[in-house]
Structure 1
Amino acid sequence: MGEKDQKQGVYVTTGEEFVRDTRYISTRITRDGADGYPVEANRYRLVAARACPWANRTLVVRRLLGLEDAISLGLCGPTHDADSWTFDLDPGGVDPVLGIPRLKDAYNKRIPDYPKGITVPAIVDTRDGAVVTNDYAQITLDFSTEWTDFHRDGAPDLYPAELRDQIDEINATVFSEVNNGVYRCGFAGSQAAYDKAYDRLFTQLDVLEERLSTQRYLVGTTITEADVRLFTTLARFDPVYHGHFKCNRSLLAQMPALWAYARDLFQTPGFGDTVDFTQIKQHYYIVHRDINPTGIVPKGPDLRGWLTAHHREQLGGRPFGDGTPPPPPRPDEVVPTTNGVPTHA
């Protein structure tokens, strides 16, 4: 993947802690259309990037629930400049449905001269080409609760009503301390900010290590939204966060319960088949030039361990509960074999 010609972004503010701006376009797509956007098949396009952990969540949930026929998918390339994610993977660098080369064009259709960062995932209304929402935390919850008429037969309940308080509680902690915690380390602008972020991250990883040593999933006995949110960070830990973000007390592969848990999910249909390790590494190491000025992408680590036996089934539980695994990915959504885990010795 070549470098962008445009100006690169700046991610570290010298002397300061990293603080994520979480003010997103909070419009929702709901069954009753209360915000002006009713659930409707073939109207909306999910724009994601396999490189991004927040977008990867939407790819997993869309697969697990079987929403491929209802919500189309546009994929940005793994690298971007300071201005926008771009559709580098499509012929001519233009999304074939939206007809735009830069995701920023869809943001500006909704809010002229959109003043904030151009983020993925985003859901775009194909009727006018404008972004509806980029509120990644709400998008997947709405996939589970508002799009039920379009779920596949056998779709799991990723946000069961009786467990929502528990899921919400652990999601809040995982977001603050782990999902965002790795960024707090990587984008720290001072030694003190980094040291504090590092300690917070590994304190919580130790808590999760203990929790997952006696139970297969984070909440209940089946896969839930909580597992999706933790998984996408764990999948990037050894290839990116351990080195690039200096989260180097331990490799994921050195935390036995978390490593087995991550492999269990990776080997579950709908999880590992959405992960593109090549794009993940290209994104972080090429885009974050203030952290990695050379833009050199490391060749490692060895990924074959992701396919080794995890033995988590001994803890009980059923991945999909009374449901069934999703079918294989659509041909046009398959991660290239060269970008995944080698299956040969």
Structure 2
Amino acid sequence: MNATERDEGSQGDGNAAYGHKKFKRSKSHFADRVTADGRDGWPVEPGRYRLVVSLACPWASRALVSRRLLGLEDALSLAVADPIQDDRSWRFTLDPGDRDPVLGIRYLHEAYDARERDYPGGVSVPAIVDVPSGKLVTNDFQRITLDLATEWTALHRPGAPDLYPEPLRDEIDSVMEGIYRDLNNGVYRAGFASEQSEYEEACRDVFRRLEEVSQRLADRRWLVGDTITEADIRFFTTLVRFDAVYHGHFKCNRYKISEDPVLWAYARDLYQTPGFGDTVNFDHIKRHYYQVHTGINPTGIVPLGPDPAGWTTPHGREDLGGRPFGDGTPPDPVTP
């Protein structure tokens, strides 16, 4: 999760604070970029960097999907944090010895400390860490996936799709801006609201944008153009969490995504596309939101539903045409 005024990325001053203070998402403090020319001091190099994610986090899930679609698994290694943090930030308790086997650290904050001691902000994912130095390179969740698509091209797999095609970038940026403001971020504004009026404004924004996007997708398979782009990735990571956590936990409950025929078919279409559903872990998603946000859900009880089986049912969106990967090909199946 991206750090907020209340340090959403780690427990810090206590998860009970959620829902008791106006939500504000802060800008990423570490905004260096890993680029082909290395202009920020971090050149693209195979095996040099490690992507740290939580499978629960929608911002980190963007990077997971992009990495899969572009075939960067061998070039950019992956560290998966426990969905439940403690007051020392994201932890690597899913790994043997409770340490990341490549970075050798127990908590992500150690990479932040190696970069900037006494950094006052939150410890957030996604994060890219320089393996040789152990230093955090960037936690700029808005930029990471764009750079994976445009700066890491020399390391893309054969047949990798163009997720940010230059002729469509203005339209993609415009669509993504509205989705970010009202949906990606809007569900958090609603869920962490501390006043009724604040909640109602955010919730109205969420469903107004959902209705607008549903209308846009009624006669087109993808958000922009006739292939999957960065815009679809960013929308999907919110849609796939909506019924499981945002509808109940964040009180975005005017209706479920599964009750909108267009959005539900679109979401299933993406979920069943290699690189999307195979990066989703509903157990991590639900345990993180319901057990970490104790200010909203003080009992820590995790709901049993919804049944994920519906995600694999036929969607019928093929009739709208379009080519998911353009002139490219799907990524290889996930290896056990």
Does TM-score exceed 0.5, indicating one fold?
yes
CA distance in 1, matches of 2:325, 2:22: 40
CA distance in 1, matches of 2:24, 2:53: 23
The Cα of 1:136 is off from its aligned counterpart by: 1.0
Residue aligning to 2:115: 110
CA contact (8 A) 2:159 2:329 kept: yes
Residue aligning to 1:66: 71
CA distance in 2, matches of 1:191, 1:91: 45
Distance 1:111 1:239, change over 3 A: same
The Cα of 1:88 is off from its aligned counterpart by: 1.3
In the comparison of the two structures, how many residue pairs are matched?
A: 327
Which shows bigger deviation, 190-199 or 74-83? Answer: 74-83
Structure 2 counterpart of 1:240, which letter?
A: V
Identical columns (%): 59
2:182 maps to 1:177: yes
Structure 1 counterpart of 2:197, which letter?
A: A
Mapping of residues 184-195 of structure 1, within 5 Å: 184-195=189-200
Distance 1:5 1:265, change over 3 A: closer
CA distance in 1, matches of 2:79, 2:335: 13
2:180 maps to 1:202: no
CA contact (8 A) 1:175 1:181 kept: yes
Q: Which runs of 4+ in 1 moved over 6 A?
A: 4-7
Please point out which of 28, 35, 59 is paired with 1:30: 35
CA distance in 1, matches of 2:225, 2:110: 42
Distance 1:140 1:5, change over 3 A: closer
Residue aligning to 1:277: 282
Residue aligning to 1:12: 18
* Cα-to-partner distance string for 1:68-110 (whole Å, 9 max, x where unaligned): 1100000001111243010111011100000000000000100
The Cα of 1:5 is off from its aligned counterpart by: 11
2:299 maps to 1:294: yes
Please point out which of 81, 93, 97 is paired with 2:98: 93
CA distance in 2, matches of 1:288, 1:251: 21
CA contact (8 A) 1:9 1:81 kept: no
The Cα of 1:19 is off from its aligned counterpart by: 1.6
2:15 counterpart SS class = coil
CA distance in 2, matches of 1:262, 1:79: 26
The Cα of 1:24 is off from its aligned counterpart by: 3.0
Distance 1:296 1:97, change over 3 A: same
The Cα of 1:9 is off from its aligned counterpart by: 2.6
CA distance in 2, matches of 1:5, 1:254: 34
Please point out which of 219, 235, 238 is paired with 2:240: 235
Mapping of residues 209-224 of structure 1, within 5 Å: 209-224=214-229
Structure 2 counterpart of 1:185, which letter?
A: A
CA distance in 1, matches of 2:19, 2:260: 31
CA contact (8 A) 1:8 1:81 kept: no
CA contact (8 A) 2:11 2:89 kept: no
2:73 maps to 1:53: no
The Cα of 1:328 is off from its aligned counterpart by: 1.2
2:312 maps to 1:307: yes
Structure 2 counterpart of 1:127, which letter?
A: P
Please point out which of 263, 272, 277 is paired with 1:267: 272
Please point out which of 155, 163, 173 is paired with 1:158: 163
Which shows bigger deviation, 79-88 or 245-254? Answer: 79-88
2:42 maps to 1:41: no
CA contact (8 A) 1:8 1:287 kept: no
* Cα-to-partner distance string for 1:139-189 (whole Å, 9 max, x where unaligned): 000001000010000000000000001111111111000000100110001
Which shows bigger deviation, 203-212 or 80-89? Answer: 80-89
What's the TM-score once normalised by structure 2's chain length?
0.95
Structure 2 counterpart of 1:274, which letter?
A: T
* Cα-to-partner distance string for 1:268-317 (whole Å, 9 max, x where unaligned): 00000000000000000000000000111011111111001100011110
User: Which ranges in structure 1 are unaligned for 5 or more consecutive residues?
Assistant: 332-345
Distance 1:148 1:7, change over 3 A: same
Distance 1:284 1:13, change over 3 A: closer
